[in-house]
């Protein structure tokens, strides 16, 4: 395709050791992700999707193979990556605004500048909250927000520091169907505006197809990539797009591959 | 009709007064001797009669208890942070702490007397030692139970261990700390009164011991009630602090106010 990959996963395997037992969690993964690309990884539960995420962010060490981000090999936790999980993990003692601003207190160069340029940073955070429709809830605490709102705030927190890489581990998994589909639109708008590289882990094939440029299908344990599918649906995609025949065909194709690995 | 809110507010007083009335009636009906179980009215009479002595000794107890409690909060809080923040310290120290906490504190007082003589110091140390443990355990638990996802989020932002501790660990441990303070303050009274009873010539414990040796049982009961009242007051102070510092943990519930 184009130039060198931003995230390069090269022959990566991981073996979990627990006492005497060894489990091969993922095997010989090869994925190249371009800068600014949105990819999704789908697969049956327990296939090592979340393991892949931990490997890319350096929270786990590979057993074999290597991962590079921006040409640099991953050793130990990668700094400045944005992350959002299914569980929103907002801090209950902080207001929505303060929660969103947490990364700015940790990631350089914002950490150094935060005190001096507090006002500008607050404006930046408020602007972000506004784009996800949370401007009126900036002073509220997490338990005063609905599940969907909490997840919006969580997404804001994961991108406030403009990370080059965003990792999403089923961020919309615990939401009801309507809220989930609404947040796909929010996520797409944020990505189209900021153009970060994103890796979405999900088991929702429509979600993967809606958001991603490319979808990888993983087999069950030990996880291998069995399909890499370009999603050639023009953006911005809307909920109407999901009812178009072509969109349906793609979801169907992904579904068949998942079926085949589940039954094999 | 009384509203439910006022009823909730009055309930503690009604129950307390009710208990005293029950006690009084029980004494009158059974005709029990006053050196076995004095009537509460007699106890209150004695309280008024011995007011200066009671005031002097209860102030002493309040002083030793508070001093021991404050030491317990500082020491227990710090040790709790160390234990909660480091797995190594946790596994190393925890068994020792549990063992130490299993020692009846009354057995410790004679040792303290040998080291420090009788009086204020053993009382403070006993209050400290007894209130220390619940604080350590609670603070350590608060720190050790940080959600793994949250830790991952912070680590992938590049947060240092100290940053994870100050941004998440400590605020998160606060409700645990304040919950333990409520237990610790009442235990501190147990500690100081024990020490005063065994080895002191001041404090409520000493007052009760000398009163019982002269068969002034109403005065013994007066002492018990004073300790209980001080305990309730200090508990209320701890609750007040808890509400102010960690209101976020209560999510607007009306109880405990």
Q: Model confidence over B32-83: pLDDT tens digits? A: 888 889 999 999 999 999 999 999 999 999 999 999 999 999 999 999 999 8
Question: What average pLDDT does chain B have?
Answer: 89
One domain, residues A74 and A57 = yes
- Domain, as residue range, for B210: 51-247
User: B169 is written with which tokens?
Assistant: 């660990």
Over residues B191-214, the mean pLDDT reads 91
Please give the C-alpha separations between residue A127 and each of A101, A123, A124, B123, in angstroms, as whole numbers: 12, 6, 5, 59
The lowest-confidence range among A8-12, A44-48, A165-169, B188-192 is A44-48
Instruction: Indicate yes or no: CB of A106 within 8 angstroms of CB of B249.
Output: no
Distance from CA of A114 to the nearest CA of B (A): 15
Summarize pLDDT for B145-190 with one digit per residue, the tens. 888 888 888 888 888 888 888 888 898 898 899 989 999 999 999 9
A135 and A236 co-located in one domain: no
Strand order across the A197-202 sheet: A82-85, A165-169, A197-202, A38-42, A214-218, A225-230
Residue B2 within a domain: no
**Which residues of chain A approach chain B closer than 8 Å at the C-beta?**
54, 57-59, 77-83, 85, 87, 89, 91-93, 102-103, 105-108, 141, 143, 158, 161, 167
pTM metric for this prediction: 0.77
A66 plus A178 within the same structural domain = yes
| Cβ pair B212, B155 in contact under 8 A | no
Q: Is B156 on the interface with A (CB under 8 A)?
A: yes
Cα separation of A179 and B161, whole Å?
36
Which ipTM score applies to this complex? 0.76
B147, B158, B248: residue with CB nearest A107: B158
Give the closest of B149, B156, B168 to A78, CB-based: B156
Q: Which residue has the higher pLDDT, A224 or B134?
A: B134
Looking at the structure of chain A, the number of domains it has is 2
**Which of A131, A147, A162 finishes a domain?**
A162
A90 to chain B: nearest residue by CA?
Answer: B150
Nearest to A29 by CA among A16, A44, A17, A47: A47
pLDDT at B23 over 90: yes
Structure tokens at A195: 């153009």
Chain A neighbors of B248, CB-CB under 8 A: 92-93, 141, 143
- Please check whether residues A95 and A38 belong to one and the same domain: no
Same domain, A13 and A135: no
Q: Is B239 helix (H, G, I), strand (E, B) or coil?
A: helix
Domain region containing A137:
91-162
d(CA B224, CA B228): 6
Q: Say how many domains are in chain B.
A: 1
* Per-residue pLDDT reduced to its tens digit, A158-206: 888 888 889 998 888 888 888 888 889 888 988 998 888 999 999 889 9
Spell out the residues 6+ positions from residue B207 whose beta carbon is closer than 8 angstroms to its own. B53, B54, B57, B219, B223
Query: A72 and A4, same structural domain?
Result: yes
- Nearest Cβ partner of A89 from B153, B246, B251? B153
Q: Of the residues A143, A162, A181, which one is the last residue of a structural domain?
A: A162
Residues A190 and A263 in one domain: yes
Same domain flag for A203 and A237: yes
Taking an 8 Å cut-off on Cβ atoms, the answer to whether B153 and A80 are in contact is no
Report how many Cβ contacts below 8 Å link chain A to chain B.
63
Is residue B3 domain-resident? no
Task: Note whether B147 contacts A87, CB cutoff 8 Å.
Answer: yes
**Which of A67, A86, A89 is the best substitution to test chain B (most B C-beta atoms within 10 A)?**
A89
Q: What beta strand segments (E) does A43-136 contain?
A: 64-69, 72-73, 82-85
Main-chain phi, psi angles of A120, to 5 degrees: -65, -40
């Amino acid at each position: 395709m184009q130039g060198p990959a931003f995230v390069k996963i090269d022959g990566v395997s991981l073996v979990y050791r627990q006492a005497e037992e060894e489990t091969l969690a993922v095997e010989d993964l090869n994925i190249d992700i371009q800068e600014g690309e949105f990819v999704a990884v789908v697969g049956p539960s327990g296939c090592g999707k979340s393991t892949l995420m931990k490997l890319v962010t350096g929270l786990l060490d590979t057993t074999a193979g290597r991962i590079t981000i921006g040409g640099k090999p991953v050793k130990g936790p990668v700094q400045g990556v944005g992350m959002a999980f299914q569980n929103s993990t907002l801090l209950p003692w902080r207001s929505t605004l303060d929660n969103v601003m947490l990364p700015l207190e940790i990631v350089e160069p914002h950490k150094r500048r935060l005190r001096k340029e507090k006002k500008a940073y607050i404006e930046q955070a408020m602007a972000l909250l506004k784009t996800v429709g949370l401007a009126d809830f900036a002073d509220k605490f997490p338990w005063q927000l609905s599940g969907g709102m909490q997840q919006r705030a969580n997404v804001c927190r994961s991108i406030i520091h403009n990370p080059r890489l965003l990792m999403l581990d089923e961020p919309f998994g615990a939401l009801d169907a309507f809220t989930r589909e609404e947040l796909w639109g929010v996520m797409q708008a944020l990505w189209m505006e900021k153009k970060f590289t994103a890796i979405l882990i999900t088991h929702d094939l429509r979600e993967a197809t809606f958001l991603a440029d490319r979808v990888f299908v993983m087999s069950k344990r030990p996880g291998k990539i069995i399909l890499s599918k370009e999603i050639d649906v023009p953006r911005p995609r809307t909920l109407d797009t999901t009812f178009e025949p072509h969109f349906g065909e793609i979801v169907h194709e992904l579904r068949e591959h998942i079926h085949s690995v589940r039954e094999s | 009709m009384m509203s439910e809110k006022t009823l909730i507010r009055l309930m503690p007083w009604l129950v307390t007064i009710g208990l005293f009335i029950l006690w009084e009636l029980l004494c009158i009906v059974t005709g029990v001797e006053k050196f076995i179980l004095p009537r509460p009215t007699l106890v209150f009479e004695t309280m008024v009669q011995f007011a200066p002595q009671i005031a002097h000794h209860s102030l002493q107890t309040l002083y030793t208890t508070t001093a021991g409690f404050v030491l317990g909060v500082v020491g227990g809080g710090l040790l709790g942070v160390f234990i909660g923040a480091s797995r190594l310290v946790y596994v190393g120290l925890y068994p020792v702490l549990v063992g130490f906490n299993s020692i009846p504190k009354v057995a410790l007082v004679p040792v303290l007397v040998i080291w420090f003589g009788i009086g204020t110091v053993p009382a403070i140390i006993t209050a400290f030692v007894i209130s220390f443990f619940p604080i350590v355990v609670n603070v350590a638990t608060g720190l050790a139970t940080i959600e793994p996802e949250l830790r991952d989020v912070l680590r992938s932002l590049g947060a240092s261990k100290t940053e994870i501790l100050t941004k998440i660990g400590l605020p998160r441990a606060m409700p645990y700390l304040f919950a333990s303070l409520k237990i610790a303050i009442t235990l501190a009274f147990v500690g100081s009164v024990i020490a005063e009873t065994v080895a002191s010539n001041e404090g409520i414990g000493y007052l009760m011991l000398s009163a019982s040796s002269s068969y002034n049982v109403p005065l013994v009961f007066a002492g018990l009630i004073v300790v209980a009242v001080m305990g309730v007051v200090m508990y209320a102070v701890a609750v007040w602090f808890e509400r102010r510092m960690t209101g976020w943990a209560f999510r607007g519930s009306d109880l405990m106010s």
